[in-house]
């Protein structure tokens, strides 16, 4: 992760994210988890989705006044491990703008995403119901 110069993208078509004045919501339709992303986390998410590679971001935290490389790297790793983003096979072309660098330098709080809502009970698979042919209707299989 630390040295990755590749673009990171949303992990699959089941990841939906929407921006509101720099904040984001992310819905993972596979897990049913719905996240609110604000502050440091929102800035990092936007940079990653804009095609900035982890290495370029993490380099900015080598001499950061408030946050460490490890904190940021751990956050990006969590995004990958939670199935929200993945490394693509495309090398990053875009770099950080001066405004991007200034906003990273101004961060004071470690990034985190908050679970907004859990829809997993609606979306996740469960054991199939069998049919009660007498009633002509599917019924739950005996456990």
Partner 1 sequence: MNSPVKSFRLTIDNVACYAMKLWSDLDALDTAEWSTETIQVAGRRLELRSPSRYYLDLCLDNLVQEAFDQSEPVEVTEVIVLDRQDVPSLLSARWDTDNFSIKAFMESLADENLSGVYDRDADFWQFYDHEAKRGLYILRSPASVPPWEPAFPLRNFFHWSCQGTSQGLLHAGTVGVDGEGVLIVGPGGSGKSGTTLAAILSDMDSVGDDYVLASLQDDLVIAQPIISKMKQDSAGLKRVGLNSADEVFEGPNWQQKYCFDFTALGRGKRADYLKINAILLPRISLADKTTFTRASGLQAMGKLSPSSLHQLTGDWKRTVQFSASICRRLPAFHMNLGTDAKEISDSLRQFLKGQMQ
Q: Least Å distance between CB 50 and partner 1? A: 18
Residues binding partner 1 (CB under 8 A):
16, 18, 20-21, 23-25, 27, 29-30, 34, 36, 38, 116-117, 119, 122-131, 133-138, 140
Q: Least Å distance between CB 55 and partner 1? A: 29
Nearer to partner 1, 98 or 126 (CB): 126
Nearer to partner 1, 63 or 122 (CB): 122
User: Could you give the CA distance from residue 119 to residue 30 in angstroms, rounded to a whole number?
Assistant: 10
Three-class SS state of 101: helix
Q: Least Å distance between CB 86 and partner 1? A: 19
User: Could you give the CA distance from residue 133 to residue 86 in angstroms, rounded to a whole number?
Assistant: 46
Q: Least Å distance between CB 9 and partner 1? A: 17
Taking alpha carbons only, the member of 89, 84, 113 closest to residue 13 is 84
User: Could you give the CA distance from residue 71 to residue 64 in angstroms, rounded to a whole number?
Assistant: 11
Nearer to partner 1, 23 or 73 (CB): 23
Nearer to partner 1, 28 or 60 (CB): 28
Phi (first) and psi of residue 8, to 5 degrees: -105, 140
How many residues appear in the chain? Answer: 143
Taking alpha carbons only, the member of 63, 66, 47 closest to residue 109 is 66
């Amino acid at each position: 992760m630390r040295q990755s110069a590749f673009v990171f993208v949303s992990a699959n078509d089941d990841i939906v994210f929407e921006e509101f004045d720099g904040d984001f919501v992310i819905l993972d339709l596979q897990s049913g988890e719905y996240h609110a992303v604000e502050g440091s986390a929102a800035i990092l998410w936007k940079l990653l989705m804009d095609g900035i590679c982890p290495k370029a971001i993490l380099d900015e935290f080598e001499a950061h006044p408030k946050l460490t490389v490890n904190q940021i790297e751990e956050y990006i790793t969590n995004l990958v491990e939670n199935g929200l983003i993945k490394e693509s096979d495309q090398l990053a072309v875009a770099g950080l703008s001066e405004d991007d660098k200034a906003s990273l330098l101004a961060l004071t709080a470690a990034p985190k995403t908050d679970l907004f809502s859990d829809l997993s009970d609606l979306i996740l698979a469960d054991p199939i119901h069998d049919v009660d042919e007498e009633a002509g209707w599917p019924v739950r299989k005996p456990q």
